[in-house]
A and B are shown apart, each in its own frame.
Chain A
């Protein structure tokens, strides 16, 4: 179900992950194409976050090949990994902001690390507009993470993930914990960034509205592998009970209906 003109940004082949006796992934394959927003869904405990951690190299898999932006992720040295880390941004599930730095300083960390020659006034301005881009008010810059609400931590995390204008963005449940207005704004932001900058987005989400609103394709994780990848209609054509329940359950239908209405209004 991979599109024919796909330029793969992430390629996962035969991935196997296990924790002791418990096998999380077995022979998992997944391809993410350049410029697409791929949604990853799956029940709790199907290893969505573990898949993300394997792709970004935080979890060493038992077996399999992972290729990101044309570079092999398994068994590389720390130096080789640095080049690739400059080209991606990651929003962790709980924000993972550095608690001893302010929001603006958090955003500046990757900038300072990779571009030490950018002068402080420009650096501060870049941090400011990234913070505004993440949807935070300007008084959030000098605040410490412990002074922020859960939703604001997410937005600050996004601002940091966007700091280096990455080609590839990993988002782990970005809209969970946001109010519906904030979540819709977030979807719109991701869409507009992706269109304008040609971003590739790997999006783990439980938010059905997000799936309909922003995802080009959706990958379904179940039974230790990727059951299917495709647009939502393509997935529905697969006759798998979990997929049917997920998209045709009461929430799934409501989201689909809402999406249709929006499309209708646009037309």
Chain B
């Protein structure tokens, strides 16, 4: 750094005070002979913007008189220095400290960019498109690889059951399953009321209010119970999987785990997968139950169908296959949610912002995949005759 400083423009510094008289009277030819800028008081960051503006307004050749400066900081010195550098201004009346401060800041004159270089907008659009395609491909491949790694992890745990982390799994059961009961229950109960209310209003137009029970029963068992639970679990647990693993990635906990010889897949991913796969059907069943109760409450209070009749009627209209349709989908959805959450979590690298981005992607991806799979299931089940 010191060597570079020698090449920089040297100051035309003078410690001799300039003749006062000549300056106090601005001569009419002042503009032609240049101007003198006299700074008094403190030349600090507080006055940097003003000083720069005033300097910009003066014509060349410029002389800066520092003899009345009481205090100068590095920003003040920089403003003077850049004027000398860019406009070859003359500096007079600087004290020894001010000279050394000016020389000091001159040493650090190393222009730097503020933001990384950006390509032109045309190139950028294509670049971004290409990057997006490549990224999608990589994500798909990565997801496949992650699925494989998880399956290998499962196989390892099956071969050596001692490595199975019972405590971790039980703890996940609590977090993913038990603690979700309240919110999922409340949500389902309200959805039950809404379906019953909307359904009964429409069906009443045909005098077919009694079929409200068919509507509630079948849609709940086949679709809504599982789907709403999956969405709730994705928002609650899928996001927390991604955020937890992502934070652990940033704090290098996962690296530490690897170097100690603990497989992150076995210790972190598999317990979460098992919890999501096993808890989803139970939560889905719970959700169906509460939706039916909510709907039952509504038809009892609003249409006047007593609970006992409601239950009897439900038994008649819901085929047992409807329950199977709902419950078979649930573990698959759980698996998808855990897979997307853990995968995105482990992809986090770099900064804390990435944790947020990846968490969002995990939730969006898992809900999207759940709905895609749900439609596949719908076609499949009706084709095998479970209508």
A99-B351, A100-B351, A125-B82 known; A139+B52 contact, CB < 8 A: no
Selected contact of B114 from candidates A122, A142, A145, CB within 8 Å: A142
Cβ-defined contact, A124 with B108, below 8 A: no
Inter-chain CA distance A139–B97, complex, in Å, is: 30
A164, B45: Cβ atoms closer than 8 Å: yes
Tell me if B49 and A142 are in contact (CB < 8 A): no
- State in angstroms the CA–CA spacing of A22 and B324 once bound together: 57
Partner of B45, one of A100, A115, A138, A145: A115
Q: Which residues of A contact B353 (CB under 8 A)?
A: 99-100
Are the CB atoms of A197 and B351 closer together than 8 Å?
no
Q: What is the distance, in angstroms, from A255's C-beta to the closest C-beta of chain B?
A: 26
List of B residues within 8 angstroms of A19 by Cβ: none
| With contact pairs A104-B114, A128-B111 given, residues A165 and B45 touching in the complex (Cβ less than 8 Å) | yes
B150 at the interface (CB under 8 A from A): no
The 0/1 profile, CB within 8 Å of B marked 1, for residues 158-178 of chain A is 000010110000000000000
Query: Any chain A CB within 8 A of the CB of B261?
Result: no
The yes or no answer to A59 lying at the interface (CB within 8 A) is no
Residue in chain A with minimal CB distance to B46: A115
Contact A140 B52 (CB under 8 A): no
**A144-B351, A145-B351, A146-B351 as given contacts; A131 in contact with B112, CB under 8 Å:** yes
Stretch at the interface among B33-41, B98-106, B210-218, B376-384: B98-106
Are A125 and B78 neighbours in the complex by a CB distance under 8 Å? yes
Q: Residue A235 at the B interface, CB < 8 A?
A: no
B110 interfacial by beta-carbon distance below 8 Å: yes
Interface size class for chain A? 35 or more
A125-B78, A165-B75, A196-B97 known; A119+B111 contact, CB < 8 A: no
Q: Mark B106-149, 1 if CB is under 8 A from A, else 0.
A: 01111111111100000000000000000000000000000000
Q: Contact between B97 and A129 (Cβ–Cβ < 8 Å)?
A: no
Residues of B within 8 Å of A133, CB to CB, are: 74, 108
> Does A23 interact with chain B (Cβ within 8 Å)?
no
| CB nearest to A132 among chain B residues | B108
Interface string of A111-154 (1 = CB under 8 A from B): 10001011100101111111111000111111111100000000
Binary flags per residue of B207-225, CB closer than 8 Å to A gives 1, else 0: 0000000000000000000
Alpha-carbon distance between A48 and B146 when the two chains are bound, in angstroms: 45
Beta-carbon contact of A146 and B75 below 8 Å: no
The smallest beta-carbon distance between B245 and chain A, in angstroms, is 18
State whether A165 and B351 are in contact (beta carbons under 8 Å apart), knowing that A105-B115, A129-B105 are contacts in the complex. no
- Return the contact of A115 from the options B49, B101, B112 (Cβ within 8 A): B49
Q: Please indicate the chain B residues that have their CB under 8 angstroms from the CB of A131 in the complex.
A: 110, 112
Interface string of B76-102 (1 = CB under 8 A from A): 001100100000000000000100110
With A118-B49, A196-B101 known to touch, is A105 a contact of B114 (CB < 8 Å)?
yes
Assess the A127–B100 pair: CB atoms within 8 A.
no
The answer, yes or no, to whether B282 is at the interface (CB within 8 Å) is: no
**Which residues does chain B contribute within 8 Å of A137, judged by CB atoms?**
110
Knowing A115-B49, A192-B104, say if A99 contacts B352 (CB, 8 Å): yes
Q: Would you give 29 A-B contacts (Cβ < 8 Å), ordered by A?
A: A99-B353, A100-B351, A100-B353, A102-B115, A115-B45, A115-B46, A115-B48, A117-B49, A122-B79, A125-B111, A127-B112, A128-B112, A129-B109, A130-B108, A132-B1, A132-B108, A132-B112, A139-B112, A142-B113, A142-B114, A142-B115, A144-B350, A145-B351, A146-B350, A165-B45, A165-B74, A196-B97, A196-B100, A196-B101
Which residues on B are within 8 Å of A, measured CB to CB? 1, 44-46, 48-50, 52, 73-75, 78-79, 82, 97, 100-101, 104-105, 107-117, 349-353
Q: A119-B52, A128-B111 are in contact. List 11 more A-B contacts (CB 8 A).
A: A100-B353, A104-B115, A119-B49, A122-B48, A122-B52, A131-B110, A133-B108, A140-B112, A141-B112, A143-B116, A196-B101
Report the 7 A-B pairs with minimum CB-CB distance, sorted nearest first: A141-B112, A99-B351, A132-B108, A146-B350, A165-B73, A117-B49, A104-B114
